[in-house]
Structure 1
Amino acid sequence: MPAWAVGPLLVAAAYAAGALPWGYVLGRWFGNIDLRQHGSGGTGATNALRTLGWRVSAAVFALDVLKGFLPVIGARLLELNGWWIAAVAVAAVVGHCWSPLIGFGGGKGMATGAGAAAAMYPPVLLVVPVIFGIIWLTRYVSLGSLLGSLLVSGALVGLGVAGLVQWSVALGVLAMTGIIVFQHQGNIRRLLSGTERRIGGPAS
């Protein structure tokens, strides 16, 4: 099957994979609750941590990472060109953030975006200690997520300008960062006003 036919199919499959709301599913399964009705209302690992504890949160995080990682790996194994791979990555994040299975709600996109970015360009994993360091020092998951995303996308754009990274990688990650920042608008406002919830704080 030619790439022009395989590419759209993989993009659609990536969106479908991203749309699987694991936070919602595990919340129902382990806590008999709808995560959308608790804490921040998100279905990601951070709200799961506050509402359901670290074990469920870790499972949600791992599954959300795989939603981005596996579709991109599939696209790479099929040797699609870089722009199709970038489209697959972005589609997984879009599916995670706006899942039709739960009324086009979802999470913030960080874990799925991280999985997709790592599959596109594994050296981005070098920023993981920086993200966890920011979270550990400030106890703000949102701040670590935002700064980490901006650092990675900025570095990749710089590498793209230098000709060291394909532009499909740099712009794909930049697009995912844009989605992540958009989904963190409320967190940004709370960070600026000093009312953002810290890890260890109450869920609501």
Structure 2
Amino acid sequence: MTALLIAPLLCLLAGYLLGSIPAGYLAGRWLQGVDIRTLGSGSTGATNVLRQFGKGPALAVFLVDVLKGTMAVLLAKAVLQPLGLPLDGGAAAVTSDSWVVAAGLAALAGHIWPVWLGWRGGKAVATALGMLLGLTWPVGLACFGVFLAVLSLSRIVSLSSVVAAIALPLLMLGWFQDQGLGLRWPYLALALLTSTLVIWRHRSNLSRLLAGTEPKLGQQKPGS
């Protein structure tokens, strides 16, 4: 019984610590000895890394940020399943779903509010993608597809991120309905919370979008 109580809490802590790995900040320190939060948009995410340091470092940061979210979820699944918390079906499904979802959200919190950086991190888009790929990869790929489609038309990362975030709850709901799995409340709650977090983190970008001053890819101005 003790393990059943402690293990989920350790999964939350591990999710937060994984999410708080400051890949963008470390890239700035290693490449130019600067704090990337003092440059561009002030975000530690891949888009700001792209604008400040180029494609190679940005790709590396993006991949690390994605893996943070995926690993947080997969770790929670790997730990909870052997303890008798089945992840599919059964009376305990809601409990296990809830803890796994919570571990994913903890990774998002770690990315946005990393303890190592005085609670100032990134905007959680890549980590959210990784979390979704670990939870329900078809929904994650669908969200990424929405992001890429909007990006190809607008070349504005922030707009693409916000549209993908808005689409997430609908994609999540549609996936479970299409699979005949009914409404899985923990996953729908995760989709709504993730969408809200991403949009909230892009509030300054939304102001610039409304003002028509948000930069496109290739422009060296503060952005997503």
Interval of TM-score (by shorter of Structure 1 and Structure 2):
over 0.9
- 1:12 and 1:54 map into 2 onto residues whose CA distance is 32
Give the CA deviation at 1:168: 1.4
Give the CA deviation at 1:32: 2.0
Contact 1:159–1:165 under 8 Å retained in 2: no
After TM superposition, the score normalised by the length of structure 1 is 0.94
Aligned to 1:186: 204
Q: Deviations over 1:177-199 (max 9, x none)?
A: 21111111101111111111111
Aligned Cα RMSD in Å? 1.7
Give the CA deviation at 1:19: 1.0
1:46 is the counterpart of 2:47: yes
Max Rg structure = 2
What are structure 2's unaligned runs of at least 5 residues? 86-95
Structure 2 matches for 1:29-68, cutoff 5 A?
Answer: 29-68=30-69
Go from structure 1 to structure 2 and tell me whether the alpha carbon gap of 1:49 and 1:13 turns closer, same or farther (over 3 Å shift): same
Secondary structure of the residue aligned to 1:2 is: helix
1:169 is the counterpart of 2:170: no
Aligned to 2:146: 130
- 2:182 and 2:134 map into 1 onto residues whose CA distance is 17
Give the CA deviation at 1:47: 0.2
> What is the aligned residue count?
204
2:160 counterpart (141, 144, 147): 144
Which 10-residue stretch deviates more, 137-146 or 2-11? 2-11
Q: Deviations over 1:129-176 (max 9, x none)?
A: 221121121011011111112112222235567754522122112212
Go from structure 1 to structure 2 and tell me whether the alpha carbon gap of 1:112 and 1:55 turns closer, same or farther (over 3 Å shift): same
What are structure 1's unaligned runs of at least 5 residues? none
- 2:173 and 2:197 map into 1 onto residues whose CA distance is 16
Which 10-residue stretch deviates more, 92-101 or 2-11? 2-11
- 2:183 and 2:99 map into 1 onto residues whose CA distance is 16
Contact 1:66–1:112 under 8 Å retained in 2: yes
Contact 2:19–2:110 under 8 Å retained in 1: yes
Go from structure 1 to structure 2 and tell me whether the alpha carbon gap of 1:165 and 1:55 turns closer, same or farther (over 3 Å shift): farther
Aligned to 2:120: 105
- 2:113 and 2:25 map into 1 onto residues whose CA distance is 13
Aligned to 2:106: 91
Secondary structure of the residue aligned to 2:110 is: helix
1:157 is the counterpart of 2:162: no
Contact 1:160–1:167 under 8 Å retained in 2: no
Amino acid in structure 2 at the alignment position of 1:41: G
The share of aligned pairs that are identical, in percent, is 34
